[in-house]
Amino acid sequence: MDKQITFEEAMKRLEEITGIIQKNECTLDEGLKLYEEGLKLAKYCDDKLKSFSAKLNELTGQENIDE
pLDDT tens by residue, 26-58: 999 999 999 999 999 999 999 999 999 999 999
* Dist. CA 67–CA 63, nearest whole Å: 9
pTM of the entire predicted model: 0.80
Q: Where are the domains of the chain?
A: 7-57
Q: Is the pLDDT of residue 23 over 90?
A: yes
Handedness of CA 53, 55, 57, 63 (dihedral sign): positive
